[in-house]
Amino acid sequence: MKLAPSILSADFANLERDIKLVERGGADYIHIDVMDGHFVPNITFGPNVVSAIRPITKLTLDCHLMIENPENYINDFAKAGADIISVHVESTRHIHRTLQMIRNAGVKPGVVINPGTPVAAIEPILNDVDLVLVMTVNPGFGGQSFIPETLDKIRQLEQLKKDNGYHYEIEVDGGINEKTIQLCHDAGASVFVAGSYIYSADAPLKRMDQLKEAVQ
Ligand code: DX5
Ligand code: ZN
């Protein structure tokens, strides 16, 4: 399993401190939530924040783009030092072309589906991605409750992966805690984003241990 703490719930005035903290806790990816105020009703940060983070950690920078027309920003995020760029299938007219752009920029491509989007919407491109991110809340904010109906999509993706020999990792994002992580793990997910569960706690490292123990 891999843990991907989301810096959406970190202290933006102390990002370096909060990234080093989860590094010490054994984070695998740093999950970076990019929001534009159009695709989702919230605004966060852009490529310049990614390039500011790049020199302070060797961890995989897992960039989750919640922006309209992400194809216009792929090269900026690649240059900024993203290791994975994930785009929502709902956010671009040409998902295949956008994924190709990410691959051509030397970055691992991921595709994301909202809770209301079926797996069928991404079936034709599953061979082209290194990561499938299943949103387990509606994107836009940290601290929301896990939507259990999304578990079935994780199972479907795990089955499709086995049946077709695809290589993607299945990542889940939203409402992950020590209970929901088990459900997602049993369904087939292997990368777990957690924001508020880690960063809003008094003892973030203890929370990271609890997440890891929950799926052992
Ligand atoms: C929501 C973001 C998530 C968010 C998760 O749009 O994509 O990455 O940080 O936050 P929690 O873990 O608090 O649900
Ligand atoms: Zn996210």
The domain spans of the chain are 2-214
Ligand 1 binding pocket includes 204 (Cβ within 6 Å): no
Q: Which ligand sits nearest to residue 174's alpha carbon?
A: 1
Q: Report which of 62, 72, 121, 130 is spatially closest to residue 101, judged by C-alpha positions.
A: 72
**103 CA distance to ligand 1 centroid (A)?**
25
Q: C-alpha angle 18/22/25, rounded to 5°?
A: 145
Average pLDDT over all residues of the chain: 98
Is 141 annotated to bind a ligand? Reply is: yes
Q: What is the ipTM of this complex?
A: 0.99
pTM score: 0.98
Ligand 1 atom, smallest distance to 139 CA:
6
Q: What per-residue confidence (pLDDT) applies to 138? A: 98
Ligand 1 binding pocket includes 44 (Cβ within 6 Å): no
Q: Are the C-beta atoms of 109 and 102 separated by less than 8 Å?
A: yes
Alpha-carbon distance values, 182 to 83, 112, 148, 212 (Å)? 27, 21, 12, 10
- 209 labelled catalytic: no
CB atoms closer than 10 angstroms to residue 211:
25
Ligand 1 binding pocket includes 133 (Cβ within 6 Å): no
- 173 labelled catalytic: yes
What are φ and ψ of residue 203, in 5° steps?
A: -125, 80
Tokens of 213: 């123990």
The topology (CATH level 3) of 2-214 is TIM Barrel (3.20.20)
- Rounded Cα distance between 86 and 143, Å, is 21
Condensed to tens digits (0 to 9), the pLDDT of residues 5-39 reads 999 999 999 999 999 999 999 999 999 999 999 99
